[in-house]
Amino acid sequence: MALVDYYAIEEELHEDERLVRDNVRRFVEAKVMPIIARHYQDGTFPEDLVPQFAELGLLGANLEGYGCAGMGDVAYGLAMQELERGDSGVRSFCSVQGSLCMYPIHAFGSEAQKERYLPGMAEGKIIGCFGLTEPDFGSNPTGMLTKAERLPGGGFRINGTKRWITNGNLAHVAIIWAKLDGRVHGFLVPTETKGFTAQKIDDKWSLRASVTSELILEDVEVDEDALLPGVAGMRGPLSCLSQARYGICWGAIGAAIGCYETAVSYAKDRVQFSKPIAGYQLVQAKFAHMLTEITKAQCLTLRLGRLKESGKYRPQQISLAKRNNVHHALEIARMARDVLGGNGIMYEYPIGRHMMNLETVYTYEGTHDIHTLILGQDITGIPAFD
């Protein structure tokens, strides 16, 4: 069931990878596509999909053990691609749960923390959110103000504010990154803890079928075992971001394919003057460009996935693919919108939704410009930021 596959990338995929892609696609077409425009319009996340994500094994799919599927990174990426062909918000839910919340517990948690959280998170019964960004610290998370201090009798007190937190109001546990004695540490904070509040951010044009929140921690006290013991410093949150950005690289291809296919099919049917608009040079030039960029992104991202599977990837390589794929997905969405004319802005077609969603994807998990500077530093050895 290859959709856009101009370079026969199908042949480079293993049997299980094709099966993952095809089964997730079937699920998205049956369960996500019919309901997603309505949720987007209403600004609601389709919560009843969560147990179905869990049953399919989409939550923490590339982690080993603790009820997770233990998929390879390419299979995981293809699942993210198919989810985002449905909607970026739906894919974001799974990215946050798996890559930003389950991954750090899996990588840096104690055995007790893993057993307490991971099986329930894989089953979708415990939902997580990831608190790194703050109102005044986005691209520069190192400057965060959220602080943890040791309590005399053991445990910690945490104070601070986190913003733009996906799943914030759905979450049972928040992974809060806070400075303890000047170094960044991760804390597993149950959201029912006294002093923890989540406020939903409703008035947004983008990612409307996803919950975005502000988290306020006011003298939140947690036990000693809330601390993630395996990591200190920015390496902790940044390694989570590498995982999530990797999924975004694939997701962006899914959104781009969704827009491209819609536009091609529309242009073949839409007659203006004497023939379908697909027969005019300006429209064909758009399609040639869209197909070229999708094909380049597919080749790039499959190679990145193979590097990641062999453990040889560098975070800068993920930056290159995130920067490229999201940039071109957004460009493709805008071109597709153009091809559809007035219909391009209607809820009846997925393009306007993808286009608005991709504005968020362009910015979150490292903005386009920040990834540019990560590459700039990698090329020259000179950071363009302090």
Partner 1 sequence: MKILVPVKRVADPDNANKVKVSGDGTKVTSDGLEWKMNPFDEWSLEAALRLTENGSSKDRVGEVVLVSIGPKDAVQTIRQGLAMGAERGILVESDDDSLDSHVVAQVIAAIAAEEKPDVIFFGKQSADGDSNVAGTKLAEMLDWPLVNYAMAISTDDEGKSFTVKRELDVGQQTLKVQSPCVFTSSDRILQPESVKNGVTPADFAYPESEGGRYASLKGIMKAKKKPVDEKSLADLGVEAKRVNEYVKFDLPPARSGSTTFVESVEELVQKLHSDAKVL
Can 214 be counted among the known catalytic residues? no
Placement of tokens 């040079």 in the chain: 281
Distance in angstroms between the alpha carbons of the first and the last residue of the chain: 47
**Residue 178, CB half-sphere, CA atoms under 13 Å: how many?**
29
| Contact flag: residue 58 with partner 1 (CB under 8 A) | yes
- Is 205 buried (19+), middle (13-18) or exposed (0-12) by CB count in 10 A? exposed
| Contact flag: residue 115 with partner 1 (CB under 8 A) | no
| Contact flag: residue 11 with partner 1 (CB under 8 A) | no
Compute the distance between CA of residue 74 and CA of residue 307 in angstroms, rounded to an integer.
10
| Contact flag: residue 46 with partner 1 (CB under 8 A) | no
| Contact flag: residue 61 with partner 1 (CB under 8 A) | yes
The C-alpha angle 25, 31, 36, rounded to 5 degrees, equals 105
- Is 386 buried (19+), middle (13-18) or exposed (0-12) by CB count in 10 A? exposed
Q: Active-site residue among 82, 84, 134, 365?
A: 365
Q: Which of 4, 49, 75, 330 binds partner 1 (CB under 8 A)?
A: 75
Region from 67-75, 125-133, 228-236, 375-383 binding partner 1, contact rule CB under 8 A:
67-75
Closest to partner 1 by CB, 86 or 131: 86
| Contact flag: residue 16 with partner 1 (CB under 8 A) | yes
Least separation in angstroms between residue 11's CB and partner 1 is 11
**β-bridge mates for residue 295, sequence order:** none
Compute the distance between CA of residue 135 and CA of residue 212 in angstroms, rounded to an integer.
13
| Contact flag: residue 184 with partner 1 (CB under 8 A) | no
| Contact flag: residue 144 with partner 1 (CB under 8 A) | no
Compute the distance between CA of residue 67 and CA of residue 155 in angstroms, rounded to an integer.
29
Chain positions 265 to 284 lying near partner 1, rule: CB under 8 A, are: 271
Compute the distance between CA of residue 175 and CA of residue 23 in angstroms, rounded to an integer.
31
The pair of structure tokens assigned to 117 is 């959280």
Region from 69-77, 229-237, 297-305, 373-381 binding partner 1, contact rule CB under 8 A:
69-77
Q: Which of 37, 49, 69, 176 binds partner 1 (CB under 8 A)?
A: 69
Region from 65-73, 188-196, 242-250, 371-379 binding partner 1, contact rule CB under 8 A:
65-73
Chain positions 274 to 333 lying near partner 1, rule: CB under 8 A, are: none
Q: How many residues does the chain have?
A: 386
Closest to partner 1 by CB, 62 or 146: 62
Chain positions 227 to 266 lying near partner 1, rule: CB under 8 A, are: none
| Contact flag: residue 346 with partner 1 (CB under 8 A) | no
| Contact flag: residue 57 with partner 1 (CB under 8 A) | yes
In the chain, the DSSP E strands lie at 128-131, 147-150, 156-166, 173-180, 183-190, 196-200, 212-222, 271-272, 275-276
Count of residues interacting with partner 1 (CB under 8 A): 23
Closest to partner 1 by CB, 49 or 174: 49
Given the DSSP bridges, would you call strands 147-150 and 173-180 parallel, antiparallel or unpaired? parallel
Q: Which of 6, 7, 30, 42 binds partner 1 (CB under 8 A)?
A: 30
| Contact flag: residue 366 with partner 1 (CB under 8 A) | no
**CA proximity to 339, closest of 351, 354, 357, 325:** 351
Q: Identify residue 69 by its one-letter amino acid code.
A: A
| Contact flag: residue 15 with partner 1 (CB under 8 A) | yes
The pair of structure tokens assigned to 247 is 């999924």
The pair of structure tokens assigned to 109 is 């948690």
Closest to partner 1 by CB, 71 or 318: 71
Chain Cα centroid distance, residue 374: 19
Closest to partner 1 by CB, 70 or 279: 70
Would you tell me which residues interact with partner 1 (CB under 8 A)? Answer: 1-2, 15-16, 18-20, 22-23, 26-27, 30, 55-58, 61, 69-71, 75, 79, 271
Catalytic residues: 365
